[in-house]
A and B are shown apart, each in its own frame.
Chain A
Amino acid sequence: MMIKDVIPGFELFRPTTVAAAVALLDQHKKVAWKIAGGNDSLSWFKDRIKRPKVVVDISAIAEMKGIKETADGIEIGALTTLTDIENNAVVKKSYRLLADAAGNVASPQIRNTGTIGGNVSQDARCWYYRSGLPCYRAGGNTCFADTPEAQNREHAIFDANRCVAVSPSDMAPAMIALDAKMVIRGAKGERVVPAEEFFIGPRIDITRMTQMQPEELLVAIRIPKEWAGARFYFEKVADRNAWDFPLVNVAAAVKTDAGGVVQASRVAVGGVSCTPRRVGVAEETIKGKKVDQELAQLAGQSVTRGARPLNYNHYKVPLMANLVMRSLRDAVA
């Protein structure tokens, strides 16, 4: 069994500008590891499972911190802490979904150090993968979480593809519901990726959870004005009320007219597949209608079609249906 709680040595860089950070990442490419709040990285290091030669600590880059209003909405620096997002006046007023999601992450201590960039970039929590087993995601040639005996209560019910780990983030579904744009900087310049494309599954690359290449840096997240002031709903169901990953979570943004008729909506569910899962069928179901219990229930029921539960996680099917149902019902209530 691995030795725990002794971090192997590495070369540490602490750039203070995005340009310097990008240059360092480009120089070291795949051997470099980005660290900000450290909540995900340090446990990998302490377990001696991930052993980067070079660590680029980006936490001192001032230009990546804070929330500013722009012509098209708001821009959140990737190093902004979850606590700052939870407490920001503009976020609370116009994009409450983000504040609600941030307030549901882990614990106050982790929210104080955890950044939005780190939260949306965090690695899978599959316990087999985290214990250092040589699974597909770790570069091996099997999935330990999808065997007849596997203990996979927290795992995926959709889109298994050699890996059944789920997106564990509470912020990620909110990003999709708000149609966030992820601003990624690399040596070749900047690219802006919609949240829905930012998160990738094992079909695209089994070793990563997002589109970002090792030499790239997530610098900011833009939340467009389009959904400002919409009706929002965030809910997370976990085993306990703090310091826990979601079993399933849901984020919904719903726009209605004065009569309560739904004009548009975006709904995403976490904890059910490797990426936060946008549930278009639910959005379709309520479009142009007034949401009541019956319609919400239909929408909820519709999203679990195609679910393929594993040994221990079929409870996620009714839970997902119920969470989508009440996100729509209670968002417009």
Chain B
Amino acid sequence: MADYKLVGKNFTPPDMVAKVTGAAKYAEDFRAEGMLHAKLMLSPLPHARVRSIDTSAAMKIKGVVAIITPDDVPQFPPPVDPILYKEPVFAGAPILAVAAESEEIAAAAIEAIKVDFEQLKHVVDPLDSLYPGGINAFSGGNVANVQLPLQTVKWTAKDFQSFDQGKMPMGKAAEEWAYGDLDAGFKKAKVVIERSFLTAGTSHHSMEPRSNMSYWQNGKCYVHGSMQSQSFVVPNIARYLGIKPQEVVFIAEYCGGGFGSKGTGYPLIAVSGLLSKKANGRPVMLRISREEESLLGSGRAGFQGMAKIGFAENGRITAFDVFVVQDNGPNMGFWDFRNCGHSIQICFQPEAMRWRGTAVLTNTSPRGPQRGPGENQTAMAIEPMIDEGARELGLDRLAIRRINAPDNDGFDGHNAKGKLTSAFLKDALVKGGDVFKWEEKKKLSGKRNGNKVIGVGIASAFHAGGSNGFDGIVRILPDGKLYVHSGVGNLGTFSCAATSRVAAEVLGYNWDNVVIVRGRTDKHLPWMIGQFGSNTAYTASRSNYVAAMDAKDKLLEIASQQLGGASGDYDLKNERVVHKTDASKSIGFADAAKRAMELGGKFAGKELPADINPLTKASVEALAGTGLIGVAKDKLPKRGMVPALCAGFCMVELDTETGEFEIKEYLGVADCGTVLHPAGLQSQMHGGAMMGFGLATTERIVYDHQLGLPANVQFDQSKPPTYLDMPKSFHWAAVEQPDRDNPVGVKGIGEPIQGAAAGALINAISDALGGHYFHRTPVVRDMIINALAKRPQSYRALQANTM
């Protein structure tokens, strides 16, 4: 591994102190003179049409300043999530918003507004909507997703013929792909496992609700909001406000959790700005309550599906057939169902495979991407079936995963011909086996100690872990310091700081002399992908690298111009440009920056590369002449998809009298390339695993199907795991093999950490139960108790959004 000064070393991220002291200001902490307070009116009905809205009584209340209804806000073609709903499609859908001198007045105004609703039929379960004559959750149709046009699809009675026996109906899929000879693959398999499964949806429940405060000044809308991304969300915020991206100033230094739900912008972000516009630019604060965050903050899609896996005698997967119906919520949703097929392909590299899927609308809370969207549901659905295959074949559970896991020669794509930039899942499994002492631990499986029994489990998970083609900006100013302009956002993973260190590494900077410029778009940031999809470490390290390399070239050129010789005669050392053979010839970075300002042109950002994004261009134009400017678009080679991979190893002790279990030990092993920031990785490995334990055993979206009302919108009702639910022994490791197509070898990792932990825990529970597999998640306490007592389960097979 390269000898890095900064990469791979721990450091205190600059935002850490603010967070632990409470000095960090989140959107809701901002105040502005004359600030109004807003409240939303939410639909009490799961599906309705708004016939009329009478605001006359509310407008007479002293202190009410502005009201916006669906007619006052930008409209988007369905299934795009509306800002305010004319046809509310879930209980809690915002109908209108009021801005008043106080929250109390705004609330009183909402209670004084009369809305005439025409109640429409609702549906909570995707399969109910697909059933012949089933209800459409939206008047325009019942099937839709990103790039899947809104349409009505009903299956046939024949499709549902075996439904009562618990078999997944498989009617017309919206999309499918396949490669290899599936039939031949099943024919040559020694064992075939076929199961129907269900994974529940989950609300995000970010700690920070998506409150926002906005005002208008000099033709621009200033928006304080909670977002995990920075530059990437601006076009979306502008679209929701009905203005141009350059008319938005977006301010978000910190984000109290997003998990995918605050990655690309969301409709609520515009409500305070739209109200402010109606109130002649007066600042408006929209404080979002916990219940609103739960309902409007988007959630993970649920799956109902079938998987059929053929295993050869040695465990190699010869054929894999999977069908998945995604509970899309009422709107656009996210493409979890597509990621289901992708993650199976990457984790198990089946010799032949078919994926079929569709996304069905329900009158439940809106869905969006949540950490490993699709991949992590898939880990929970499929990993137990891998164990079942191993049991039937008499194979070791680690070995069966190793034989199928991808390495650098692994493949990707619907034709299985795409390449991977690097893959070390086999190594992660081997390393995990060593660290976890799998050979010893598996002997404890089923071991009884009074009413306690031990179970162990393994799982692996995947998410794409890097993008490319974005821009970087770095500046060296006459004060000699390096200013890394970060457009990536601050989700809370500290990776905006960690990736900035790549620029410092390239230029040989002392970290104390580096300033990260971020947090407001008017600080002139580069165009950058959002902080989502486990991509930041990979993508931002590349763009910071190319910007720093550009600055390096300029430094060398300035030195050669000034001191003679060619650029290649010089090197960077201790924040100086030094002649390689004659150390007396050198120029400090501060002086080089001054020289760049004198030279102007490309050195000072006055001539720009032609291929950078217009947003980057505007930023550099504003910065031009302030110092030596490095700016570039990432055009580094990338041979294929970047897989972020993780293997999880779990041991539980399960109480056979109460169904409770204690996680005695958990180990996650990351294939994230070069470790960029060990402490940051550790917090991801722990936090992601905890979130996985919740996904696997406690969290879910529940509705009363008859009423169409949500059962668990409060934080305590949603039951994310607590500190006391942490594994007794909680550790992590990394493969530490550099990615082939990243200049410092790093890849992302955030998302598969959760799926690996969730799958490993479920498998450990099933192992403790002597091989009882649920094929339904979360595996909640009552399911374990019923399994132990050999009682039937309470839920109806494949019924979604229930307890």
Query: Which single residue of chain A is at the shortest CB-CB distance from B720?
Result: A240
Contact digits for B683-718, partner A, Cβ 8 Å, 1 yes 0 no: 000000000000001100011111101011010110
Stretch of B269-277, B286-294, B491-499, B753-761 at the chain-chain interface: B286-294
Query: Which single residue of chain B is at the shortest CB-CB distance from A6?
Result: B107
**Residues from chain B with Cβ under 8 Å of A264 in the complex:** none
Confirm or deny: B52 has a beta carbon within 8 angstroms of a beta carbon on chain A. no
Tell me how far the C-beta of A250 lies from the nearest C-beta in chain B, rounded to whole angstroms.
10
Confirm or deny: B439 has a beta carbon within 8 angstroms of a beta carbon on chain A. no
How many residues of B sit at the interface, in one of the four size bands? 35 or more
Query: Which single residue of chain B is at the shortest CB-CB distance from A127?
Result: B711
Could you tell me if B91 and A6 are in contact, using CB atoms closer than 8 angstroms? no
**Residues from chain B with Cβ under 8 Å of A48 in the complex:** 107
Taken together as a complex, chains A and B put the C-alpha atoms of A248 and B191 apart, in Å, by 42
Taken together as a complex, chains A and B put the C-alpha atoms of A315 and B717 apart, in Å, by 19
Confirm or deny: B479 has a beta carbon within 8 angstroms of a beta carbon on chain A. no
- CB within 8 Å for A3 and B781 given contacts A241-B725, A312-B795, A314-B794: no
Could you tell me if B794 and A3 are in contact, using CB atoms closer than 8 angstroms? no
Q: Residue B657 contacts which of A127, A133, A325 (CB distance < 8 angstroms)? A: A325
Tell me how far the C-beta of A18 lies from the nearest C-beta in chain B, rounded to whole angstroms.
32
Could you tell me if B722 and A242 are in contact, using CB atoms closer than 8 angstroms? yes
Q: Which of A4-61 contact B (CB under 8 A)?
A: 4-6, 8-9, 43, 46-48
Could you tell me if B657 and A322 are in contact, using CB atoms closer than 8 angstroms? yes
Taken together as a complex, chains A and B put the C-alpha atoms of A223 and B42 apart, in Å, by 48
Could you tell me if B658 and A315 are in contact, using CB atoms closer than 8 angstroms? no
Confirm or deny: B798 has a beta carbon within 8 angstroms of a beta carbon on chain A. no
Tell me how far the C-beta of B292 lies from the nearest C-beta in chain A, rounded to whole angstroms.
7
Could you tell me if B103 and A6 are in contact, using CB atoms closer than 8 angstroms? yes
**Residues from chain B with Cβ under 8 Å of A235 in the complex:** 658
Tell me how far the C-beta of B608 lies from the nearest C-beta in chain A, rounded to whole angstroms.
48
Tell me how far the C-beta of B303 lies from the nearest C-beta in chain A, rounded to whole angstroms.
20
Taken together as a complex, chains A and B put the C-alpha atoms of A143 and B714 apart, in Å, by 21
Tell me how far the C-beta of A134 lies from the nearest C-beta in chain B, rounded to whole angstroms.
12
Q: Residue B719 contacts which of A133, A149, A240, A318 (CB distance < 8 angstroms)? A: A240
Could you tell me if B709 and A131 are in contact, using CB atoms closer than 8 angstroms? yes
Could you tell me if B794 and A315 are in contact, using CB atoms closer than 8 angstroms? yes
Could you tell me if A3 and B716 are in contact, using CB atoms closer than 8 angstroms? no
Q: Residue A312 contacts which of B290, B697, B791, B803 (CB distance < 8 angstroms)? A: B803
Tell me how far the C-beta of A113 lies from the nearest C-beta in chain B, rounded to whole angstroms.
15
Confirm or deny: B785 has a beta carbon within 8 angstroms of a beta carbon on chain A. yes
Confirm or deny: A89 has a beta carbon within 8 angstroms of a beta carbon on chain B. no
Query: Which single residue of chain A is at the shortest CB-CB distance from B785?
Result: A315
- Most central of A3, A9, A235 by chain B CB within 10 Å: A3
Q: Residue A6 contacts which of B39, B92, B721, B785 (CB distance < 8 angstroms)? A: B39
Q: Which of B89-119 contact A (CB under 8 A)?
A: 91-92, 103-104, 106-107, 110-111
Could you tell me if B658 and A239 are in contact, using CB atoms closer than 8 angstroms? no
Could you tell me if B781 and A311 are in contact, using CB atoms closer than 8 angstroms? no
Q: Residue A319 contacts which of B703, B785, B802 (CB distance < 8 angstroms)? A: B785
Tell me how far the C-beta of B53 lies from the nearest C-beta in chain A, rounded to whole angstroms.
16
**Residues from chain B with Cβ under 8 Å of A131 in the complex:** 709
- CB within 8 Å for A244 and B782 given contacts A5-B290, A6-B104, A237-B660: no
Taken together as a complex, chains A and B put the C-alpha atoms of A311 and B725 apart, in Å, by 28
Could you tell me if A4 and B290 are in contact, using CB atoms closer than 8 angstroms? yes
Query: Which single residue of chain A is at the shortest CB-CB distance from B722?
Result: A242
- CB within 8 Å for A127 and B717 given contacts A6-B104, A144-B704, A318-B791: yes
**Residues from chain A with Cβ under 8 Å of B707 in the complex:** 144
Could you tell me if B658 and A237 are in contact, using CB atoms closer than 8 angstroms? yes
Confirm or deny: B789 has a beta carbon within 8 angstroms of a beta carbon on chain A. yes
Q: Which of B752-795 contact A (CB under 8 A)?
A: 780-782, 785-786, 788-789, 791, 794-795
Could you tell me if B719 and A127 are in contact, using CB atoms closer than 8 angstroms? no
Q: Residue A315 contacts which of B697, B714, B782 (CB distance < 8 angstroms)? A: B782
Confirm or deny: A326 has a beta carbon within 8 angstroms of a beta carbon on chain B. yes
Could you tell me if B291 and A5 are in contact, using CB atoms closer than 8 angstroms? yes
Tell me how far the C-beta of A229 lies from the nearest C-beta in chain B, rounded to whole angstroms.
26
- CB within 8 Å for A1 and B721 given contacts A127-B711, A147-B706, A315-B786: no
Confirm or deny: A122 has a beta carbon within 8 angstroms of a beta carbon on chain B. no
- Most central of A46, A48, A240 by chain B CB within 10 Å: A240
- CB within 8 Å for A3 and B782 given contacts A147-B706, A241-B722: no
- Most central of B658, B659, B714, B786 by chain A CB within 10 Å: B658
Taken together as a complex, chains A and B put the C-alpha atoms of A131 and B710 apart, in Å, by 9
Confirm or deny: A105 has a beta carbon within 8 angstroms of a beta carbon on chain B. no
Could you tell me if B703 and A9 are in contact, using CB atoms closer than 8 angstroms? no
Confirm or deny: A151 has a beta carbon within 8 angstroms of a beta carbon on chain B. yes
Could you tell me if B781 and A237 are in contact, using CB atoms closer than 8 angstroms? yes
- Most central of A47, A152, A244, A318 by chain B CB within 10 Å: A318
- Most central of A1, A4, A43, A242 by chain B CB within 10 Å: A1
Query: Which single residue of chain B is at the shortest CB-CB distance from A152?
Result: B803
Tell me how far the C-beta of B92 lies from the nearest C-beta in chain A, rounded to whole angstroms.
6
Could you tell me if B698 and A240 are in contact, using CB atoms closer than 8 angstroms? yes
Could you tell me if B711 and A4 are in contact, using CB atoms closer than 8 angstroms? no
Query: Which single residue of chain B is at the shortest CB-CB distance from A148?
Result: B706
Q: Residue B110 contacts which of A3, A150, A239, A244 (CB distance < 8 angstroms)? A: A3
Could you tell me if A247 and B107 are in contact, using CB atoms closer than 8 angstroms? no
Query: Which single residue of chain B is at the shortest CB-CB distance from A5?
Result: B289
Q: Residue B725 contacts which of A47, A240, A319 (CB distance < 8 angstroms)? A: A240
Could you tell me if A151 and B722 are in contact, using CB atoms closer than 8 angstroms? no
**Residues from chain B with Cβ under 8 Å of A311 in the complex:** 794
Could you tell me if B107 and A3 are in contact, using CB atoms closer than 8 angstroms? yes
Confirm or deny: A153 has a beta carbon within 8 angstroms of a beta carbon on chain B. yes
Taken together as a complex, chains A and B put the C-alpha atoms of A323 and B655 apart, in Å, by 12
- CB within 8 Å for A326 and B657 given contacts A239-B781, A244-B716, A312-B803: yes
Could you tell me if A4 and B291 are in contact, using CB atoms closer than 8 angstroms? yes
Confirm or deny: A87 has a beta carbon within 8 angstroms of a beta carbon on chain B. no
Tell me how far the C-beta of B712 lies from the nearest C-beta in chain A, rounded to whole angstroms.
7
Confirm or deny: A107 has a beta carbon within 8 angstroms of a beta carbon on chain B. yes
Taken together as a complex, chains A and B put the C-alpha atoms of A328 and B703 apart, in Å, by 38
Query: Which single residue of chain A is at the shortest CB-CB distance from B658?
Result: A237
Query: Which single residue of chain A is at the shortest CB-CB distance from B110?
Result: A3
Confirm or deny: A313 has a beta carbon within 8 angstroms of a beta carbon on chain B. yes
Confirm or deny: B43 has a beta carbon within 8 angstroms of a beta carbon on chain A. yes
**Residues from chain B with Cβ under 8 Å of A318 in the complex:** 785-786, 788-789, 791
Could you tell me if B785 and A149 are in contact, using CB atoms closer than 8 angstroms? no
Taken together as a complex, chains A and B put the C-alpha atoms of A6 and B702 apart, in Å, by 25
Could you tell me if A242 and B723 are in contact, using CB atoms closer than 8 angstroms? yes
Taken together as a complex, chains A and B put the C-alpha atoms of A116 and B705 apart, in Å, by 37
**Residues from chain A with Cβ under 8 Å of B724 in the complex:** 240-242
- CB within 8 Å for A151 and B107 given contacts A131-B709, A243-B722, A244-B719: no
Interface residues of B (CB under 8 A from A): 39, 41-44, 91-92, 103-104, 106-107, 110-111, 287, 289-292, 451, 657-660, 697-698, 702-707, 709, 711-712, 714, 716-717, 719, 721-725, 780-782, 785-786, 788-789, 791, 794-795, 802-803
Interface residues of A (CB under 8 A from B): 1-6, 8-9, 43, 46-48, 107, 127-128, 131, 133, 144, 147-153, 235, 237-244, 247, 311-315, 318-319, 322-323, 325-326
Q: A5-B289, A9-B104, A323-B658 are in contact. List 16 more A-B contacts (CB 8 A).
A: A1-B42, A4-B291, A5-B290, A6-B103, A6-B107, A43-B714, A47-B291, A150-B706, A237-B660, A240-B722, A242-B725, A243-B722, A244-B719, A314-B791, A315-B782, A326-B657
